[in-house]
Amino acid sequence: MNLYQKISELTNKGIPLVIVTVIEKLGDGPVEVGKKMILTKDHINYGTVGGGALEFQAIELCKELLKTRLSITKKYLLKEGKELKDSETLPMECGGIVTMFFDYIGPLETIYIFGAGHVGQALTNVLKTMNFHVKVIDNRDAVVNEFKGGDEVILSSFADYIETNEISENSFVIVTTPSHKYDYAVINKIIEKKIKLKYLGMICSHLKLKDFLNKTYAKFGKDVDLSNFYSPIGLDLGGGSPAEIAISIASEILAVHNNKPNHSHMRTSLFEGKDKYWE
């Protein structure tokens, strides 16, 4: 198998993965320097770094790195009952020392934009200057055909896309469709399927938000979890053009991604004064 071809195929699809490479071997062991293995976010592996306990531990570490999105070097002592500084001892009898480099390859985040209109296009232009994988969904054939820059631009009914495709856990979703009913349908479907997102943002006015929340509470109850729901969307930067709105949304995405809470989110005043804006 050509692992480099597989890496190219997976990264072109925006699939996160970890490449494991044996970079040093001292003494006996079941693998040679240069051997490689890939593990994808779906825990599918290609190639090998020796099998047995060594490969098992490598796969387990890959799973953690796919969550933390980090790259590290790890040293293993292949001798049960022995210890070596800065290394992990494995239940093996070879006696050698193997060092491997674990290289996370993939986007910072997957971002779904429901709506390929002016704001969706402007937001994609901003996000694609950074390492984000952007999927754009719209039900209008002409708009989809003219859209530029998305990693995936998909012609689909908005809620149907969520019903028939996996939305990655802890991803970011932006709702900017051409109609309130489509916006609500997208968010309702996310709530119904209990998809755990890091960020769910909807473009709206205060009146639209009041209407949405009243309908959402009526449908799902007052205990529905909206802790990661951002609406009105974006940081309070001012400006109303698609480009300015896009920068506001992208800034909020970065603040959430980087765990920086001390920013002026436009949703804050509404959620702090809940009873003032809806019943």
pLDDT tens digits, one per residue of 144-182: 999 999 999 999 999 999 999 989 888 999 999 999 999
Of 68, 69, 49, give the one whose Cα is nearest residue 58.
49
pLDDT of residue 51: 85
Find the mean pLDDT for residues 101-112.
91
pLDDT of residue 278: 40
Answering whether pTM is above 0.85, one says no
Averaged pLDDT of the chain: 91
For residue 149, what are the CA distances in angstroms to 124, 130, 144, 206, 247? 7, 12, 11, 31, 16
Domains and CATH numbers, the chain: 3-105 (no CATH), 109-277 (3.40.50.720)
Q: What is the pLDDT of residues 245-276, one digit of tens each?
A: 999 999 999 999 988 877 888 886 555 544 44
Q: For residue 154, what are its two tokens? A: 């998909």
Q: What is the pLDDT of residues 199-252, one digit of tens each?
A: 999 999 888 998 999 999 999 998 999 989 999 999 999 889 999 999 999 999
Enumerate residues 6+ apart whose C-beta is below 8 A from 169: 195, 196, 197
